Amino acid sequence: MVRNHCPCNGVDQGVTLALSWIDQPSGGQVAAVMALLDAVAAADGVAPVSEAAALRLHRPGAGVMRHLLAHDGAGALVGYAGLAERLERRTAEFAVHPGHRRRGVGGALLAALLDRVPGPLWMWAHGEHPAALALAARAGLVRRRELCQLRRALAEPLPLRVLPDGVALRAFVPGEDEAAVVRVNNRAFAWHPEQRRWDSGELMAREAASWFDPKGFLLAVDPADRLLGFHWTKVHPDGLGEVYVLAVDPEAQGTGLGSALTVAGLAYLRERGIPEAMLYVESDNVAALRTYQKLGFAYHHTDAEFLRP
């Protein structure tokens, strides 16, 4: 359904834009947005929106998501924004096609987002793109959060990390382990703004992805097969490995399980011939940063999140 179709005139170089709010994008609209996001990622070297935002393009019911499409006078899609309208934390991400930058498209998208959400609004600038930072500054947005991406070459030796006594590793079993994974995930990430309220649907959407590999979804269990933690690895289309989700139940924290799970997942990726692995960590999580640095990870780039108070 299309809402608020509003031509926006007066942007740079006399460009005329048509902005359309979409509740449920059609198949053709999803394909056009994904092509735009792929073009931006290829130009900037960083994905312009989070995986969660991209997933919601394909799953309209996954969170309350609104999509903003910007078309030029010729009908070409030149910009996209996704707005997660959760009552507790409204978050937006947007991207402008590389061939249509410096024409006011980004400013028009940001203005439409700020106009739609009169209260607090969180806004991502993935990879700290200079244009995004400039727009945030002009709009008076305040930098409140930094997510660091770290990377590690897997050809380098992996440190030895032993599982706690009585703990074993096994692979995730689709259709059987979702409830236990959700329980541990939500307990481990009770503090996390995006990760703390997963349900089985969040897992199953990712299980349906082409990259999903249950063998790379490592579960740490006790002798009664009770889940204590897990390391979910991911391999991106370009061959980059990822520590996708690493979670340890609070009752098992402080036992060395987190480090052992990390190394086990990295070893699995290396066995698959993956040359490099990455992960994300909050910039103010000093303990986690120190742990990952000891495991050989080094800084790659930062995704910054801004707040309109």
Question: Which pLDDT belongs to residue 79?
Answer: 98
Residue 183 to residue 212: CA distance in whole angstroms: 20
Question: Which pLDDT belongs to residue 89?
Answer: 83
Q: Tell me: the pLDDT tens digits for 144-173? A: 999 999 999 999 999 999 999 999 999 999
Per-residue confidence band for 178, with pLDDT thresholds at 50, 70 and 90: very high
Question: Which pLDDT belongs to residue 12?
Answer: 52
- Across residues 73-88, what is the average pLDDT? 88
6 or 185, greater pLDDT: 185
SS3 content of the chain, % helix, strand, coil (to 5): 35, 30, 35
Domain 2-140 -> CATH class? alpha beta
Question: Which pLDDT belongs to residue 54?
Answer: 87
> Cβ distance 180 to 227 under 8 Å?
yes
- Choose from 79-93, 174-188, 195-209 the range with maximum mean pLDDT: 174-188
The CATH homologous superfamily to which domain 150-301 belongs is Gcn5-related N-acetyltransferase (GNAT) (3.40.630.30)
- What 3-state class would DSSP assign to 83? strand
Q: Tell me: the pLDDT tens digits for 28-61? A: 999 999 999 999 999 999 999 998 888 888 775 5
- What 3-state class would DSSP assign to 255? coil
Per-residue confidence band for 8, with pLDDT thresholds at 50, 70 and 90: very low
Question: Which pLDDT belongs to residue 87?
Answer: 55
Instruction: Find the helix or strand (DSSP H, E) in which 293 lies.
Output: helix 286-294
Question: Which pLDDT belongs to residue 287?
Answer: 87
How do the domains of the chain map onto residue ranges? 2-140, 150-301
pLDDT at 1 over 70: no
Name the token pair of 1. 């359904």
Question: Which pLDDT belongs to residue 196?
Answer: 79
Question: Which pLDDT belongs to residue 62?
Answer: 47
Q: Tell me: the pLDDT tens digits for 253-309? A: 999 999 999 999 999 999 999 999 999 999 999 988 998 999 999 999 999 999 998
Asked, colleague to colleague, whether 2-140 and 150-301 share their fold, the answer is: yes
The model's pTM is 0.84
